[in-house]
Amino acid sequence: MPELPDISAYITALEPRIIGQPVKQIRLASAFLLRTAQPPIASVEGRTVRELRRVGKRIVIGVDGDLWLALHLMIAGRLHWRAPEAKLAGRQTLAAFDFPNGALVLTEAGAKRRASLHVLAGEESVRSLDPGGIDVLSSDLNSFRSALAAENHTLKRALTDPRLVSGIGNAYSDEILHAAQLSPIAHTQKLEQIEWERLFAATQHTLGYWIDKLRAEAQTAFPEKVTAFRKGMAVHGRYGEPCARCGDKVLRIRYADKETNYCARCQTGGKVLADRSLSRLLGSDWPRTLEELEALKRR
């Protein structure tokens, strides 16, 4: 799922392309994409784009008359910049937003249709889409700690809860926790002050680094290949590869369709965290340390 740095890159690329341009036409290839009936989507056509903003993990496009298009890409939705009036070709193409200078095309990989488009009237309607999480980059340590420690959750869950923190998902939470040298299953109400300081600094630095990097790239070319697995990431998507800090292999916890990557040496004091499916299968044979894990692999 595109997260805060990815959404920032999309907005950086779109601003010079569509701000000040009229929405000539909106073409929908999937009836399931549009989640609102009023105002009608046709009411946006002919109006000029005045603003782009991020609301959580949504990209929100404001046009004349205080009307708004809110796009949520979910897991597999992606945006592409194409030639004017580009064809809606292929099963993955869901919509095209036509401008005089090009077409913003929305695609979604896979069979499930989770991406959504809302047409909204007024600022209050836009604010209603905000889950309420804090903006870490404009936050301070105390408000960050208050938000995450309001309930006793694991750090992984707290960082990815949009009601607590805005814009962070599976990929960047892995990177943040590795940078902070904290376990993804540590509980928020059990952290020491120095650990909160490390977590806050790591969150701001990690997000700031990737926002700056992806925005710089988006200034030269439209971000066509937005992915959760980026070259230069420390642990996310690097299962089995060496940790950039200590050289031990990156491990993972899998649950449903999500995966948490971490370094046991750097983050858990060498403890191997239980993968729900495998730990149930192995029971008492589940390795508790890196040494036990390596011994198990040699059997």
Q: Which CATH number do you get for residue 72?
A: 3.20.190.10
Q: Give the pLDDT confidence score for residue 228 in this predicted structure.
A: 87
Q: Give the pLDDT confidence score for residue 275 in this predicted structure.
A: 67
Q: Both 180 and 200 in a single domain?
A: yes
**What are the tens digits of pLDDT across the range 22-62?**
999 999 998 899 999 999 999 999 999 999 999 999 999 99
Q: Report the alpha-carbon distance of residue 226 to residue 86 in Å, rounded.
A: 20
Q: Both 177 and 105 in a single domain?
A: no
Q: Both 158 and 250 in a single domain?
A: yes
Q: Report the alpha-carbon distance of residue 246 to residue 234 in Å, rounded.
A: 11
Q: Both 69 and 118 in a single domain?
A: yes
The answer to whether the Cα torsion of 136, 137, 143, 145 is positive or negative is positive
Average pLDDT over the chain, rounded to whole?
A: 91
Q: Give the pLDDT confidence score for residue 243 in this predicted structure.
A: 95
Q: Both 28 and 100 in a single domain?
A: yes
Q: Both 152 and 223 in a single domain?
A: yes
Q: Give the pLDDT confidence score for residue 280 in this predicted structure.
A: 45
The owner of tokens 């491990």 is: 251
Q: Please give the residue range of the domain that contains residue 45.
A: 4-127
Q: What angle do CA 211, 107, 66 make, to 5 degrees?
A: 70
Q: Both 21 and 92 in a single domain?
A: yes
More confident residue, 225 or 100: 100
Q: Both 166 and 253 in a single domain?
A: yes
Q: Both 91 and 141 in a single domain?
A: no
Q: Both 211 and 117 in a single domain?
A: no
Q: Give the pLDDT confidence score for residue 1 in this predicted structure.
A: 79
Q: Report the alpha-carbon distance of residue 190 to residue 208 in Å, rounded.
A: 27
**Pair of tokens at residue 45:** 């056509």
Is the separation of the CB atoms in 258 and 156 below 8 Å?
no
**Which of 127, 148, 165 delimits the end of a domain?**
127
**What are the tens digits of pLDDT across the range 251-274?**
998 876 678 999 999 999 999 987
As a whole-number percent, the residues of the chain with pLDDT over 70 amount to 91
* pTM for this predicted structure: 0.90
Q: Give the pLDDT confidence score for residue 225 in this predicted structure.
A: 86
Q: What is the rounded average pLDDT of the residues 194-221?
A: 97
Q: Both 271 and 189 in a single domain?
A: yes
Q: Give the pLDDT confidence score for residue 256 in this predicted structure.
A: 62
Q: Give the pLDDT confidence score for residue 287 in this predicted structure.
A: 43
Q: Report the alpha-carbon distance of residue 47 to residue 41 in Å, rounded.
A: 11
Residue type, 236: H
Q: Give the pLDDT confidence score for residue 286 in this predicted structure.
A: 38
More confident residue, 282 or 234: 234
Q: Give the pLDDT confidence score for residue 283 in this predicted structure.
A: 44
Q: Both 181 and 257 in a single domain?
A: yes
Task: Look at residue 117 and tell me whether its pLDDT is greater than 50.
Answer: yes
